[in-house]
């Protein structure tokens, strides 16, 4: 993928050597998951998501401008990225009550970004450079940081539970819970 292409471009090494660095990055991802989970006991998860996503975006700046040592900074992104998806998933579903099942299905379907962004990154890499292509994930992590710091705390009107109750009142497929409502 893009990691291997970046390492090959930055250091002029073979794909096999770059793959070893990718393997080390995946070890960092695993270690980051365990450490991040432990840190969440002391740090509020949305705050940790915001901090980690900000760090990833900042670590990508040297990658984008292709400075010395940028490969190591890209590797560090794996450590911080480890908690992003599970934290976003949990924060998004928090407090949805009966709507949780449907919301989780929608959230899983939203992963289509993983199918859309790689071709866009490929176009950026082919048009400009592999390092320039990392602008796209950097911008995405800026958005995830916003979600951690601000977006996950926004109140969007009635609670999902009361909104679901309203749906029950108007849905002919939901049986009434009040015996007086039966004909």
pTM for this entry = 0.80
C-alpha span between 27 and 82 (Å, rounded): 10
pLDDT in tens, 53-98: 999 999 999 999 999 999 999 999 999 999 999 999 888 888 888 8
End-to-end CA distance of the chain: 63
User: What per-residue confidence (pLDDT) applies to 181?
Assistant: 43
Q: Are 45 and 87 in contact (CB under 8 A)?
A: yes
pLDDT-based confidence at residue 155 (cuts at 50, 70, 90): low
pLDDT in tens, 122-135: 999 999 999 999 99
How distant, in Å, are the alpha carbons of 96, 129, 166 from that of 81? Answer: 25, 23, 38
What does the block give as tokens for 157?
A: 């009107």
Helix %, strand %, coil % of the chain (to 5): 80, 0, 20
User: What per-residue confidence (pLDDT) applies to 33?
Assistant: 97
User: What per-residue confidence (pLDDT) applies to 169?
Assistant: 42
User: What per-residue confidence (pLDDT) applies to 139?
Assistant: 96
Q: Are 148 and 47 in contact (CB under 8 A)?
A: yes
């Amino acid at each position: 993928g893009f990691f291997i292409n970046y390492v090959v471009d930055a250091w002029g090494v073979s794909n096999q050597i770059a793959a070893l660095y990718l393997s080390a990055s995946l070890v960092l991802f695993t270690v980051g998951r365990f450490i991040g989970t432990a840190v969440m006991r002391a740090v509020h998860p949305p705050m940790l998501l915001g901090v980690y996503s900000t760090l990833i975006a900042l670590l990508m700046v040297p990658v984008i401008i292709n400075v010395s040592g940028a490969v190591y900074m890209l590797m560090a992104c794996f450590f911080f990225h480890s908690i992003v998806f599970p934290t976003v998933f949990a924060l998004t579903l928090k407090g949805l009550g009966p709507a949780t099942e449907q919301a989780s299905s929608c959230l899983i379907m939203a992963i289509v970004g993983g199918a859309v962004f790689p071709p866009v990154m490929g176009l950026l890499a082919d048009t400009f450079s592999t390092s320039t292509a990392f602008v796209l994930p950097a911008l995405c992590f800026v958005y995830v940081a916003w979600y951690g710091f601000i977006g996950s705390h926004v109140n969007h009107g009635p609670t999902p539970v009361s909104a679901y109750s309203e749906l029950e009142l108007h849905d002919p497929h939901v049986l009434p819970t009040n015996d007086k409502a039966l004909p």
